[in-house]
Amino acid sequence: MSNDAFAQAGAAADELRARTSFDSFDVALVMGSGWVPAADALGAPVADIAVTDLPGFAPPAVEGHAGRIRVVEVGGRRALVFLGRTHLYEGRGVAPVVHGVRTALAAGVRAVVLTNAAGGLRPEHQSIGDPVLISDHINLSGANPLTGATFLDLSEAYSPRLRALAKDADPTLAEGVYAAFRGPTYETPAEIRMLRTLGADMIGMSTVLEAIAAREGGAEVLGISLVTNIAAGLSDEHLDHEEVLAAGRAAAGRMGTLLGTVLAKV
């Protein structure tokens, strides 16, 4: 990343420490659309601040993203919980999309959990409300947070160790490949057919750029998609954001328990 991005992330981390009165953090969670109820299930925060209190953060632009950062202590781990994220489709550029992850890294975090709401591409074995571990991704966003001759190995972008911990916590968890489009439009049925042919299992508009930034900084990454709708052309239902939020609310208890169990072992 550029020197300016390093400096801004460092300044945000310094302000985060000052406002929370904590010097170090163990893990960061980025909560996607509809995941705020799952964050509530982690327990009462010991600190809670608005993201706009820190340098470089934009106010939330999407319903279901609260625009706050909580500090929650779970199983002896101090977690930074980002309630929402900036998306590429907001038009702010790539740097703001990954600023939260880079701030967490500057604050000392070495493991990042990225969650999202996703369309399910495999209705034959996926149901609305199913969590799916991300085993790999396909970046179709047309963007990358790395610039120049920065060559990064992504052969294990999503940590096998952390996925094993998640499966220990919930042996029913499936794994799948997450494809990322820029958005904000939902995909066409023809695009969904293409994605299935490419080997994708979930489709969304986030996570991939954050995962790349986290790996650039040396952090382990765990990605979890919540299937909140069946993708276009695979069912008779039309797609809307309220459906996404409703699925998140319905799965909050299970997701909160899963995250709490995993965090204690990260």
As annotated, the active-site residues are: 33, 65, 87, 89-90, 117, 205-206, 229, 241
Q: What are phi and psi of 230, to 5 degrees?
A: -90, 135
Of residues 30, 37, 29, 41, the one with CA closest to residue 248: 37
CA-to-CA distance for 150 and 92, rounded, in angstroms? 22
CB-side neighbour CA atoms (13 Å) of 99: 26
Tokens found for residue 126: 């996926």
* Phi, psi dihedrals of residue 36, rounded to the nearest 5°: -60, -40
Q: How far apart are CA 125 and CA 112, in angstroms?
A: 28
**Six-digit token string for 68:** 């706050």
- Residue 223, both tokens: 């990605």
What 3-state DSSP class applies to 178? strand
Expressed in percent and rounded to 5, the helix, strand and coil fractions of the chain are 35, 25, 40
